[in-house]
Structure 1
């Protein structure tokens, strides 16, 4: 055997093993959700290769949901072409990744739900969901995100539920939610937001639930919730609010549940409740009021007396 033949065999062996170790393989488990079966793919940092077991009565065309768990790995569509393999894929859940390629979901034209959790991302590509026009639910939690690209939701006009709980978000681009005119629920709990920008919510006329709990918000700007004409529930507990001004709500008339527990509230504008149809108001552990589920506004008299217009 010549030296060239020897090195050629070594190279061929390396290529074959590399291809095998990076192959996209799944442990097929029959789990039904709305009459669909889904794959569970558990991939660790030690190996991409997982034994694959196909059941004879199922095919890739039957798969509508997959769950992928990784540890300390990036993730690209080239390495994990799940949208090519599963043509009817509708739901993807991923955890443990350290980065995502902007083409990861590019061929997933049927996706309606994406969940990413316990990741180490800090940022997302702006065009990550550009081809997912039917996306309805996006849940990215506990993933260390600090902000979001301004155009990341430009194509996702059908988004209904958007959750970014448990990240490191301090601020967001001004027009971040501009295209989300169908959004029903927005949750930014457990982040580090200090200031709310009224423009964030300007186009969310169908928003029903807004959760801002466990941030560092110290003030509600004028007209910040003015355009949320369908808003029913506002949770902004565990922040640093001192004063509640009526002009923060503008012409909003739909709010029925408001939660302000664990703030520093010492004053409330009595006019706040002139237009709002609040049924349940929770204000535990504040300065001027410490009560839960207030329906009798006379309990807020001390807060009303302390109020000074801005």
Structure 2
């Protein structure tokens, strides 16, 4: 790990300087008893590695700047562990058995630049600041709104690799919530490699405006939130190798215009979206796509054109096409893909396609030009071949609130009551729910609203037309209401009955419109035989509802 050597380097330099000056002093058993660490006074460092320590030494100089406590048996870090060393800039606590860190452990370390907490496989970060029971591996790692890193305002390098942060056993918990790294505004290098992370909150790295290197390799990430890298405008290196990624959102690197290195090896990527990589094309200098089941087909031709100087494809020989690729490329290196050879256009096919397109356009133009003539001929042909069948409404009177609604002018009530109603009661005894004129309208409802209510809920409506009726405005409003419902329902449920001759110059526009549309109507006659035919036709009209047809007039 690159981060591990930051702390050891000052110690090694100090040892070399001592050797060169010949003033190295051998450590005696008494010295080990007094202080378990090797101190570099001039460099202000202390090497406490491999000393079987179970706590942070408190006997070192207070001005110590570099401290390494690697490979000991520390199991916890307390709020008081580093209060003695406020000038620490490099701290390495890797390779211990730390299971608990109190919430303000690092708060005194305002000068801290490099912190290595890697290889503490049972690490449990603070929940409420209280001690957690040991043995709860990976449990409640981030479930607090207090960041462990409060106070580390100068930290530039943080290594948390090889720690188990797997929260897959918990529900509704993100592995890294957005407030965890909030204090680390100066951080430039962050390693979360091999931490068993499967989930990332979209704002997990929101505060890391200065971050240059991000290592998320060796985890269990299946899907990256679209905005996960949105705030990493200064980042140059993103490592995502050895995860479970199957696809990358096209806007994943939208704000990473300085990205130079992208490592995506050992994932489950089958298709690569050109839009995803187009955004970082100008800055990217190296990319690793090896050991992914890439589907090499003609849609991937852009990748071969994209990869070239100065962009370098790392591990070329291990970037292999999957078994789902074009047959000549299966299990072959990606760079065996000659897109010009396998994906070249077929000239003959293109020629035939062009000819067919031109012919189609000509036919469409001719058909459009003569469309009315052709449609009329086809209409006549259809009538001659199949004829015309009346379309009946499948509903019956039981589907309506009223069986029959009779609308008439006040002066025509006597004719309706003495001639029309008795005959209909005799011929249609099943019609029991009838509305006879205004007297049967819904009580308490506005007059026109009541007319509309009854018309819309009647299986049949009979309108009696006379010379006096067509001159009455209220009557014609009721007539219009019935016509509107015919148009809305596309059902011939209205029958007009002329109870007397009306001169042509007295017939209003609505009545003319009704007749011109071929709607059903009857004319009353004083002839006895004619009256019998009248009621026969009316009875037929009242027992069925036809669907309206504006092409073929009703007979």
> TM-score of the superposition, structure 2-length normalised?
0.44
Kept after mapping to 2: 8 A contact 1:209/1:232: yes
Q: Does 1:38 align with 2:76?
A: no
> Could you say if the C-alpha distance between residues 41 and 246 of structure 1 is closer, same or farther in structure 2, counting changes exceeding 3 Å?
same
Alpha-carbon distance in 2 for matches of 1:167, 1:302: 43
Alpha-carbon distance in 1 for matches of 2:340, 2:195: 36
Q: Does 1:138 align with 2:169?
A: no
> Could you say if the C-alpha distance between residues 26 and 200 of structure 1 is closer, same or farther in structure 2, counting changes exceeding 3 Å?
farther
Match of residue 65, structure 1, among 40, 62, 67: 67
| Deviates most, 123-132 or 178-187 | 123-132
Partner of 1:229: 257
Kept after mapping to 1: 8 A contact 2:177/2:203: no
Unaligned runs of 5+ in 2: 1-33, 124-137, 167-174, 344-555
Aligned-residue CA RMSD in angstroms? Answer: 3.1
Partner of 2:204: 176
Residue 222 of structure 1 and its aligned partner are, at CA, apart by 1.5
TM-superposition CA deviations, 1:154-192 (whole Å, max 9, x none): 121111001011111001111011111111100011110
Alpha-carbon distance in 1 for matches of 2:228, 2:254: 11
TM-superposition CA deviations, 1:243-293 (whole Å, max 9, x none): 01111134322112110110100145444577776521145233256448x
Matches within 5 A, 1:144-223: 144-146=164-166, 147-223=175-251
Alpha-carbon distance in 1 for matches of 2:293, 2:219: 18
Partner of 2:105: 104
Match of residue 294, structure 2, among 265, 269, 273: 265
> Could you say if the C-alpha distance between residues 51 and 203 of structure 1 is closer, same or farther in structure 2, counting changes exceeding 3 Å?
closer
Higher relative strand content = 1
TM-superposition CA deviations, 1:82-141 (whole Å, max 9, x none): 2x2123111111132112111110111111111112211222564111211111000011
> Could you say if the C-alpha distance between residues 62 and 249 of structure 1 is closer, same or farther in structure 2, counting changes exceeding 3 Å?
same
Match of residue 37, structure 2, among 21, 25, 28: 28
Match of residue 320, structure 2, among 267, 276, 285: 285
Give the secondary structure class of the aligned counterpart of 2:97.
Answer: strand
Q: Does 1:129 align with 2:149?
A: yes
Unaligned runs of 5+ in 1: 1-24, 306-310
Alignment length (residue pairs): 267
Q: Highest relative contact order (Cα 8 Å, sep 6+), 1 or 2?
A: 1
Give the secondary structure class of the aligned counterpart of 1:85.
Answer: coil
> Could you say if the C-alpha distance between residues 304 and 61 of structure 1 is closer, same or farther in structure 2, counting changes exceeding 3 Å?
farther
> Could you say if the C-alpha distance between residues 75 and 193 of structure 1 is closer, same or farther in structure 2, counting changes exceeding 3 Å?
same
Kept after mapping to 1: 8 A contact 2:65/2:90: no
Alpha-carbon distance in 2 for matches of 1:188, 1:26: 38
Kept after mapping to 1: 8 A contact 2:58/2:84: no
Kept after mapping to 2: 8 A contact 1:224/1:249: no
Alpha-carbon distance in 2 for matches of 1:72, 1:285: 45
Q: Does 1:90 align with 2:89?
A: yes
| Deviates most, 236-245 or 264-273 | 264-273
> TM-score of the superposition, structure 1-length normalised?
0.75
Residue 214 of structure 1 and its aligned partner are, at CA, apart by 0.5
Alpha-carbon distance in 2 for matches of 1:113, 1:303: 53
Alpha-carbon distance in 2 for matches of 1:269, 1:194: 22
> Could you say if the C-alpha distance between residues 180 and 131 of structure 1 is closer, same or farther in structure 2, counting changes exceeding 3 Å?
same
Partner of 1:238: 266
> Could you say if the C-alpha distance between residues 220 and 36 of structure 1 is closer, same or farther in structure 2, counting changes exceeding 3 Å?
same
Alpha-carbon distance in 1 for matches of 2:194, 2:225: 20
> Could you say if the C-alpha distance between residues 72 and 90 of structure 1 is closer, same or farther in structure 2, counting changes exceeding 3 Å?
closer
Higher relative helix content = 2
Give the secondary structure class of the aligned counterpart of 1:60.
Answer: coil
Alpha-carbon distance in 2 for matches of 1:275, 1:44: 54
TM-superposition CA deviations, 1:285-309 (whole Å, max 9, x none): 33256448x6xxx74629995xxxx
